[in-house]
Chains A and B, each alone.
Chain A
Amino acid sequence: MSDWPSETRFLGKSTPRIDGPAKVTGAAKYPSDQQPAGMLYGAILRSKWPAARVRSIDLEPARRLPGVRAAIVVRDGERTVRYYGDELAAVAATTQRAALEAIAVIRVDAEPLPFVVDEVSAVRSDAPRVFSDEASNKGEPRTGGQGDVDVGFAEADVVVEGMFATQVEIHHPMETHGGTADFRGDELTVWHSTQGISSVRDGLSDALDLPQSKVRVLCSYMGGGFGAKFGAGVEGVLAARLSREAGAPVRLVLSRFDQSLAVGNRPSTFQKIRLGAKSDGTLKAFSIESYGCAGYAAGGPSAGGSTNSAFPAPYIYRVPNTRTSHREISINTGPAAAFRAPGHPAASFGMESIMDDLALRLGMDPMELRLRNDPSELRRREYAMAAERFGWKAKYAPPGSSSGPLKRGVGCAGATWGGGGRGTQAEMEVNPDGTLEIRCGTQDLGTGTHTLIAVIAAELLGLEPADIGVRLGDTRFPPSGGSGGSTTAASVSPAIYDVCEKAMEELKKASGLDYVRGASWKQACRKLGISPLVVRGQWREGLSSRGAGGVQMAEVEVDTETGFVRLVRIVCVQDCGTVVNKLTCESQINGGVIMGIGYALYENRVVDRATGVILNPNLETYKVPGFGDLPPIDIVLLDMPERGVIGIGEPVTIPTASAIANAVANAIGVRVTSLPITPDKVLAALGRIPGRKNPHEEWKSLFET
């Protein structure tokens, strides 16, 4: 199907990032690095109450402090705040410290309200309501399914049941949210750390009642997003409002503390699953009751992972009879946001865990059970390749069979992701001296979009990647979409193909030459005379597609005396259609696997039930994987040029935690049923913490009401 060239110089090879030198020298300016002349510093006053009725906010004490140039409330009038960290007011001052001092003296008249911050308590009939007009903190179930699940279970030879839970994960990109806003005359320019410059523009236009044509959003580089940086955010709107009030540019970049409270998370889940199969392993019936909790903002688009559509069950497996029921829980914590493969890692954890439990009951190798029930021919091949690379047959032994206090185990899991993309336009300006610049209103999150464009253009035009000027991250460039859902490569690549083809056609016409590629390029360009050639291209069918899959296998060593899990090795086999750039592709796969390791073993937002306060709003107590935690990661990437370009960011992070969880269960012979798998949970599962209650006792009440 795909028109990509089969003999290539750059496509599918390794090309170092064209913006690499800028990033290793500090020349790359991020939105948080912008310091326009006269810039002020913004800071946000946040609610210290998890729930309160705010009657009034007095900004005068802040306005009287030296250096303060603007002070605003987030919303006029009385209001209810629903989480610790909710934005109340903001100031702009001549220094960061003056701004912080100013928010400290703002007087807030508020009446604290009862609150609830844990999911299980939230569904009790006597729990405080997050929204007082709702009868319950629990949403109506969204149900689905196919076939007849009762018949399916009746036909099954074996039925297994389990309860599983996943934690709240925080995105924590290295560059925190925010940027710099400069309101001048009737025009607003913002440098915003974002995954979607166009959605930021539209959001600011709405919030400030400005024509979209008067808002310009810039983001050449940005320090990571992972799903949490699509919109302007409250902080983006506040920066623009402060700039308008102060008549000066305002930098408003969140602290790491703020980052932990208010700008998104991956929702928690609680899953009760039943799975039935014939004795040969053929799945017959599946049922799930699940809860997802996106903080106070349950429901709506931010509920990702807790809604029916975003919670894929029974995940990748073919089961003829299924019944699904998903509900949302509201609690008094900050809102969720899309997070790398929303819904999938949590759904995968529940399903892949129960698959291993079923394999154990059937006395089957868990990989064989998957091969029998996975409808994807491609993924079945990937299992075979992973097994060979990993040495699965030799390594797999029944759970808990290694002797001694250090126990080895192995686990596997598969994943799928849609991705795909469309709708991007790009522009190329070709100068008479042969230099050229491609402009596209997308953004580079660190995935290597600059380089992807250079590789494709160099390939098609017969030039070197270094010859291709690439400018992104400006809403004045031809439009593209947000960078999320593994859609950027599939959206942008076809538009670059198209603009290159059009440029060559136009150049042929203008130069009178019938061959303008490579060595002829400069000669043809010289014939342009004094006017540069400007052409526009757009996304078209046939060059990109959707649907990537992969499998991962993990080997772990568990210390049964300390509960510590050491990763020994991870093997990842993945497809993503046409490989554009091996180098950046490998980096993204590493990144997905490593984020999955964090989800498996370390990351967890902790909220104090008594005060509603986030207890680990920083990177020393919210643990992300570090240099000492990582095993060798072996990657096999299937190159399938005929499928066109497919994004890789999401699928690779999905199965990692499931494979690790299965490996831990295989090592110690008992399953830790919630993520992250911390040493205390391992010891508790082994019965080594006297008096520790089984968490299922608590979760159970969710499913009894």
Chain B
Amino acid sequence: MNHPASFSSSRDASLSRRSFLKGLGVTAATAAANGAEALAADLAQADRERPFGPGETAVGFVLDGVRVQARVEPRETLLEVLRTRFGHTGAKEGCDRGTCGACTVLVGGTPVYACMMLAVAADGATIETIEGQAIGGRLTPVQQAFVEKDGLQCGFCTPGVVLSVTALLRKDPRPNEEAVRGACAGHVCRCGSHPRIVAAALEASGVKTASQMEVVSGGRHHV
């Protein structure tokens, strides 16, 4: 079990394959002897896997560049563990069911709803949170653009949105507005900062954006 992606894909497949092969009396050793190397590797991997729980189990991952370890219950989400064990409260719980995006963190560079991932599934992964973005207090260009363009109001959804935009700009440094909206589509912002969030993301990619608001003199007021 390394990366979460390989965790979810290989685990189910290898378990069923192992039970099938075990039924035929095949082992990793006999498979290797017969030259079925891929099959042998699968079986060896499957043999190393173990069920978790119900007690705590050790997980380790790289959190904002630092190797960390924790003992977690298998049922604990990555979000809970980040917030309660590591004090990374920038990832917020807005719905706890993968709808609002406030808990978004980057796992292996990909935006993930931390409320929908078990902490044990993050074993071995590289995780980035909002706390790890500004190095030495220096805001990233994305963070800077959110401040300058006012891509936030209450700020509760902000850490997640900043991370989704960060991931987008790494893959696509010059996204159009459509791509920005797509990257942010998994985030709910109840304050209604959407237009300023889009402006911030475009600004961070080097596109100059204008305010949509024109202030004009109202003249003297007569009721």
Map CB proximity to A onto B96-122 as digits: 1 under 8 Å, 0 otherwise: 110110100000000000000000000
Task: Decide: A21 and B147 in contact? CB cutoff 8 A.
Answer: yes
Please report which residues of chain B, range 150-174, place their CB below 8 angstroms from some CB of chain A when the two chains form the complex.
150, 152-159, 162
Task: Decide: A172 and B214 in contact? CB cutoff 8 A.
Answer: no
Task: Decide: B212 and A634 in contact? CB cutoff 8 A.
Answer: yes
B206 an interface residue at 8 Å Cβ cutoff? Answer: no
Beyond A16-B148, A256-B97, is A643–B193 a contact (Cβ under 8 Å)?
A: no
Contacts of A176 in B (CB 8 A): 94
A559 an interface residue at 8 Å Cβ cutoff? Answer: no
Please report which residues of chain B, range 173-223, place their CB below 8 angstroms from some CB of chain A when the two chains form the complex.
181-182, 184-185, 187-198, 211-223
Contacts of A590 in B (CB 8 A): 192-196, 212
Task: Decide: B94 and A175 in contact? CB cutoff 8 A.
Answer: yes
Contacts of B130 in A (CB 8 A): 24-26
B95 an interface residue at 8 Å Cβ cutoff? Answer: yes
A contact residues, range = 35 or more
User: What's the Cα separation between A35 and B102 when bound, in Å?
Assistant: 19
Measured CB to CB, the closest approach of chain A to B21, in angstroms, equals 37
Task: Decide: B147 and A24 in contact? CB cutoff 8 A.
Answer: yes
Measured CB to CB, the closest approach of chain A to B139, in angstroms, equals 6
User: What's the Cα separation between A255 and B131 when bound, in Å?
Assistant: 24
Partner of A628, one of B150, B185, B196: B185
A139 an interface residue at 8 Å Cβ cutoff? Answer: no
Partner of A223, one of B95, B133, B156, B198: B156
B67 an interface residue at 8 Å Cβ cutoff? Answer: no
Measured CB to CB, the closest approach of chain A to B75, in angstroms, equals 7
A218 an interface residue at 8 Å Cβ cutoff? Answer: no
Task: Decide: B158 and A24 in contact? CB cutoff 8 A.
Answer: yes
A119 an interface residue at 8 Å Cβ cutoff? Answer: no
Measured CB to CB, the closest approach of chain A to B161, in angstroms, equals 9
Contacts of A624 in B (CB 8 A): 188, 190
Partner of A592, one of B93, B133, B157, B192: B192
Contacts of B88 in A (CB 8 A): 26
A582 an interface residue at 8 Å Cβ cutoff? Answer: yes
Task: Decide: A224 and B190 in contact? CB cutoff 8 A.
Answer: yes
Task: Decide: A28 and B100 in contact? CB cutoff 8 A.
Answer: no
> Total A-B pairs in contact (CB under 8 Å)?
223
Task: Decide: B194 and A446 in contact? CB cutoff 8 A.
Answer: no
Task: Decide: B89 and A635 in contact? CB cutoff 8 A.
Answer: no
A588 an interface residue at 8 Å Cβ cutoff? Answer: yes
Beyond A586-B211, A627-B181, A633-B195, is A620–B158 a contact (Cβ under 8 Å)?
A: no
Task: Decide: B192 and A639 in contact? CB cutoff 8 A.
Answer: no
Q: Which of B83, B100, B221 has the most CB of A within 10 A?
A: B221
Task: Decide: A222 and B95 in contact? CB cutoff 8 A.
Answer: no
Task: Decide: B94 and A579 in contact? CB cutoff 8 A.
Answer: no
Measured CB to CB, the closest approach of chain A to B133, in angstroms, equals 7
Contacts of B84 in A (CB 8 A): 35
Task: Decide: B155 and A23 in contact? CB cutoff 8 A.
Answer: yes
Task: Decide: A627 and B194 in contact? CB cutoff 8 A.
Answer: yes
Task: Decide: A619 and B159 in contact? CB cutoff 8 A.
Answer: no
Task: Decide: B95 and A619 in contact? CB cutoff 8 A.
Answer: yes
Contacts of A35 in B (CB 8 A): 83-84, 87, 89
Partner of A618, one of B93, B95, B146: B95
- Chain A residue, CB-CB nearest to B200: A24
- Chain B residue, CB-CB nearest to A622: B99
Partner of B189, one of A33, A174, A593: A174
Please report which residues of chain A, range 277-293, place their CB below 8 angstroms from some CB of chain B when the two chains form the complex.
none
Beyond A256-B96, A582-B211, A636-B214, is A24–B152 a contact (Cβ under 8 Å)?
A: yes
User: What's the Cα separation between A637 and B215 when bound, in Å?
Assistant: 5
Beyond A26-B90, A30-B156, A595-B192, is A378–B212 a contact (Cβ under 8 Å)?
A: no
- Chain B residue, CB-CB nearest to A629: B194
A583 an interface residue at 8 Å Cβ cutoff? Answer: yes
B14 an interface residue at 8 Å Cβ cutoff? Answer: no
Contacts of A587 in B (CB 8 A): 150, 153, 191-193, 196
B18 an interface residue at 8 Å Cβ cutoff? Answer: no
Partner of B188, one of A26, A174, A446: A174
Measured CB to CB, the closest approach of chain A to B85, in angstroms, equals 11
Task: Decide: B216 and A636 in contact? CB cutoff 8 A.
Answer: yes
Task: Decide: A626 and B185 in contact? CB cutoff 8 A.
Answer: yes
A58 an interface residue at 8 Å Cβ cutoff? Answer: no
Beyond A378-B223, A618-B99, is A586–B212 a contact (Cβ under 8 Å)?
A: yes
Measured CB to CB, the closest approach of chain B to A574, in angstroms, equals 9
A235 an interface residue at 8 Å Cβ cutoff? Answer: no
- Chain A residue, CB-CB nearest to B222: A377
Contacts of B126 in A (CB 8 A): none
User: What's the Cα separation between A465 and B148 when bound, in Å?
Assistant: 14
Contacts of A378 in B (CB 8 A): 218, 221-223
User: What's the Cα separation between A430 and B204 when bound, in Å?
Assistant: 37
Beyond A618-B99, A630-B195, A636-B213, is A174–B157 a contact (Cβ under 8 Å)?
A: yes
Task: Decide: B181 and A582 in contact? CB cutoff 8 A.
Answer: no
Contacts of A377 in B (CB 8 A): 222-223
Partner of B100, one of A594, A619, A635: A619
Measured CB to CB, the closest approach of chain B to A551, in angstroms, equals 13
- Chain A residue, CB-CB nearest to B217: A639
Task: Decide: B152 and A174 in contact? CB cutoff 8 A.
Answer: no
Measured CB to CB, the closest approach of chain A to B137, in angstroms, equals 8
Task: Decide: A446 and B97 in contact? CB cutoff 8 A.
Answer: no
Task: Decide: A619 and B188 in contact? CB cutoff 8 A.
Answer: yes
Partner of B196, one of A26, A174, A586: A586
Residues of A within 8 A of B (CB): 12, 14, 16-17, 19-26, 28-30, 32-33, 35, 96-97, 172-176, 221-224, 226, 253, 255-256, 376-378, 385, 445-448, 547, 575, 579, 582-595, 618-620, 624-628, 630, 632-640, 642-643
User: Can you identify 23 A-B contacts, CB atoms within 8 angstroms?
Assistant: A16-B148, A17-B150, A21-B134, A21-B139, A21-B147, A24-B155, A30-B156, A35-B89, A174-B157, A175-B154, A223-B156, A385-B216, A586-B196, A587-B153, A588-B153, A590-B212, A618-B95, A626-B185, A626-B188, A634-B212, A635-B214, A636-B214, A642-B221
Across the A-B interface, give the 10 residue pairs with the lowest CB-CB distance, nearest first.
A26-B90, A446-B154, A223-B156, A594-B192, A638-B218, A591-B192, A23-B155, A20-B147, A446-B153, A640-B218
Query: Could you list 14 further interchain pairs (A-B, Cβ under 8 angstroms) beyond the known A19-B155, A584-B150, A625-B192?
Result: A14-B211, A17-B150, A17-B152, A26-B159, A174-B154, A224-B153, A226-B190, A587-B191, A591-B192, A619-B95, A627-B194, A630-B195, A636-B215, A637-B214
